[in-house]
A and B are shown apart, each in its own frame.
Chain A
Amino acid sequence: MEKQQFDFIGKSFDIKNIGKATGKEIYTCDVNIPGQLYAVVLRSPFPHAEIKKIDYSQAEKMGAICISGDDVPDILYNERIVSIPEKTYRDRTVLPKDKVRHVGEAVAACAAETEEEAFMALKKIKVEWGKKWRPLINLDKAMDPDALQIYDHVYLGEERVDINNNIACERNVDVGDIEEGFKEADEIVERTFSTQRVYHMQMETKSAVCVPEADGGITVWTTSQGIHNVRILLGNIFNIPLSKVNVKRTTLGGSFGSSIQMNSITPICVALALKAKRSVKLVTTREEDIYDHSKYPLKTILKIGAKKDGTLTAAHCRVWVEIGGHNIQAYPYLGCVAGWFASLYKWKNLKYEGTAVYTNKVPSCAMQGYGNPQINFAVESLIDILAEKLDMDPIEIRLKNYVGKGDEFWGQGPTVRSIIRSCGVEEMLIEGSKLAGWDKRTLPSKKKGDIRRGIGVARGFHTSGTGGPNPGEVIDYSGATIKINEDGSVDVLTALMDHGGGTWDAGAKVVAEVLKVPYSKVSIYSGVDTRTTVFDVNTHATRGVYCGCGAIKYVAEKVKEILLNYAATLFKDLPENLELTCNEELGQAVICPRGIPQNYMTLGEIAEHAHITSWGTIAHTATLRQKNCPPCFITHFVEVEVNTKTGEIKVPRAVIMGDSGTIINPDLWEGQIIGAFSRGLGFSLLEETKYDLNNGKLECNGMITDYKIPTTIDMPKVGSITVRSAHTYEPTGPFGAKGMGEAALSSVGSAVAIAIYNAIGIRFYELPITPEKVLKALKEKEGR
């Protein structure tokens, strides 16, 4: 398809973030209701212990309202309802009824007139603990047949599932015959890789505010990536008709996947408000937040085979993920990891075996990439090793085997697949290598001195949404109401959430483009809730622009049709003879008979006419399911500088190539790529939430003083990160767009590790690559 000329798409505007710059933006923690109570949560100091009895009578004597496991509904639920019900594991209640399964798990909560009073009351709650067990921290110990069972049984949909060896779920995929494939191979390589637990460290901690309404309903503000799922869950748990549960869409202070599921504190806040019959506000501390969610760690044993010319013949991938004390989304996670693995290269024959294991740690959940950066680290590292063995250029082997245009992409595991219609992989590898000076790359053996530089390349992708020609195991649709106001300005009511990456900006630009209304006259930013919007599944899976704005475009086009039909009655002409354009001088959309611009009417005049003649509002509401899941591609060329005396690694330079089809918000697109690069450096070099094996507590004690994330100083010099876009157009996307968000992180860790190898000749199979690990490896190498 030809590239189109746009009025608004792809242009940077004075975006409407001024509320954030001036501090006027309201986040959940800023919502205050007159007469609200303040809630605090009592959390388990033990990793695995029986709760015998909780006595909060002393706390209530102080005037506090308290709840424990006995006060919450018996409903077992899963806080993430993005997958279809029969593929959703359920293992938890609002508060635990019999035992705790990780340090920091909520056991009781209380609300009082002030936060101080609530804390004083909390101290009076007596928990009588029963048996206490040593925590199961590492994967192998948890899977030991003699290990204590963290769960006896859970539910998969309505079906009871017995848990054995702490295995929460498994997922296997076979394509072709790997035995035959490996027989064809001239070279076979196999390695074990592991990635660590990482804390999301979104700047805003989880919060909730609940107002119990006079009609028995509730109004809720909460940090969430999808308000409708929170509405459905709260309605089901507390047995309130969904029409009486209203969840407000509130600006998110970062998320990175940590609020795809309903946060654990949200129903606690609701339970307190319902018991108190008063509004309740609950804001968690940073320590509570670190003990609430984590990135999924992954152990991978990967074996791949190739012919002498670099053609891949087979791959066998075994992965284990330890998921902590609750199964939030391990089953879809294992499916997605299979999909990311299967869609990177044409393996021809593949076998995938995935196992998820309960441990006594913080429950893991999605964090930018949903397994993609983890499996990418294994695949891209091993492809680099294979290229070296075959004496092939790392770029050449990738060009020979990548999954691209016309091939099938698994956008959300084996059940969500579609054909790739736009692909910038080749352009990004070739152009990126020129920008990065790839031809000047030297072998590790040629490096000398204490400070050694190396360069590495890795490529990745992510899906744009979870749609396919056939609906798979994942629910995916979005919607909007769009109405033209009496002055020609436009309101967009959508539940679509923006994490800060510019999803709402993109939505406003898409509407502006369709209706030719100046961007500044489109309002999408505030004032909606579940009651005023149709369903939107969630802003996850990099679906904001492709699916969310895809639906918005669909609705805007319907509004345009209604508008032109109405205008045709005013012009006494046929709608197809009319032309809609943006008149910059007037600052309005205008309609005229095609070719007769002087006979125009402004959108404001037309809308006003519809108003005063009581014709009605020019508006439309609809939902839309995207039927593809196009991959957005990324390629990272990273240069590292390894100090062989201290083990420190610096990143002096990076060239990052992205393929999002048409780019709707260029500034924020680049900003997302650079932001993901900084989180990727944290993932590669710095971050890990380590646990004490004896008491199951975090070694950082929940303090960010001891959980380091990159600061300005850890980032490359400003100006030494080059970001470029591929020239592609996604025919199924809104104005040719697909996503970027999660793709941007997927190959950072791989490129850094490969660059380190190029610098010092040592392969690292485990992230993060800390100075200690570098020094140890250098010593071992010298010792040989």
Chain B
Amino acid sequence: MEDYIVELTVNGERISSPVKPEESLLKFLRRNGFTEVKCGCEKGECGTCTVIINKKTVKSCIMLALQARGKEIWTAKGLEKQELGRKLQESFVNTGAIQCGFCTPGIIVTAKNYLDQNPIPDKGEIKKAISGNLCRCTGYKKIVDAIYAVAVENQKSI
């Protein structure tokens, strides 16, 4: 099938690349070097490929690259450039919320977008917010703690 050109912004940088109509956004991003977007199931189940598109979290394996034309996408690597993203990354490290780390980029992306919209949630709300991201190593407790620590810090600064 014919290739289309997709232009979009990833982590603030403009990307332009030919794609096949059936290519998923996940494959497109990984092919363009964004390997922090992990592939865990390609069925929209595990959440490892979560990215932020126009302030919504999306599982990039079940979205076509073509559907993301012209959109603004943020991945875990790009969050380093943003204060909240960086705080979350540091909090995950300091809390011991990371084991194998394969789910981590997707969870941090989910948490960042959630905290942007809900700056001071309680732990129960955080649990719900990340319930679409699977982690097999940690049992989630320290992940919730890590996100909560950032939320508490948010609360202080408000």
- On A, residues with C-beta under 8 Å from B are 12, 14-15, 17-27, 29-30, 115-116, 200-205, 251-256, 283, 285-286, 499-502, 665, 667-668, 670-672, 674-679, 703-705, 709-713, 715, 717-719, 721
Contacts and interface: CB of A to CB of B under 8 A. Distances in A.
B142 A709 contact: no
B92 interface: yes
B45 A674 contact: no
Contacts of A204: 38, 40, 100, 102
Contact of B102 (A15, A27, A670, A705): A27
A500 B139 contact: no
A199 to B, nearest CB: 10
Given A27-B102, A204-B38, A712-B127, A21 B140 contact: no
B36 A22 contact: yes
A711 B27 CA distance: 25
B124 to A, nearest CB: 7
Q: Which 4 A-B pairs have the closest CB atoms?
A: A23-B36, A667-B96, A20-B101, A253-B102
B140 to A, nearest CB: 5
A14 B99 contact: no
A718 B123 contact: yes
B138 A29 contact: no
Interface string B9-32: 000000000001000000100000
A317 to B, nearest CB: 30
A711 B76 contact: no
A201 B48 CA distance: 13
Nearest to B140: A712
A214 B107 CA distance: 42
B139 A674 contact: yes
B99 A24 contact: no
Interface string B96-131: 111111111100100000000000000110011011
A286 B105 CA distance: 19
Contacts of A30: 35
B104 A20 contact: yes
B142 A671 contact: yes
A712 B128 contact: yes
Grouping DSSP codes into helix (H, G, I), strand (E, B) and loop, the A interface class, with mixed when no group exceeds half, is loop
B93 A18 contact: yes
B102 A715 contact: no
A502 B36 CA distance: 21
Contact of B140 (A202, A253, A668, A715): A715
Given A711-B131, A712-B128, A202 B100 contact: yes
Interface string B27-59: 100000001111111110110100000000000
Contacts of B92: 17, 21
A663 B100 CA distance: 20
A674 B130 contact: no
Nearest to B124: A717
Given A15-B96, A203-B100, A704-B45, A712 B137 contact: no
Contacts of A201: 134, 136
B72 interface: no
B131 A713 contact: yes
Given A202-B100, A254-B136, A22 B142 contact: no
11 contacts: A20-B101, A21-B101, A23-B76, A115-B27, A500-B99, A500-B101, A671-B137, A674-B141, A679-B136, A711-B140, A715-B140
A711 B141 CA distance: 11
A713 B130 CA distance: 9
A391 to B, nearest CB: 36
B157 interface: no
A341 B22 CA distance: 54
Contact of A203 (B36, B40, B75): B40
B131 to A, nearest CB: 5
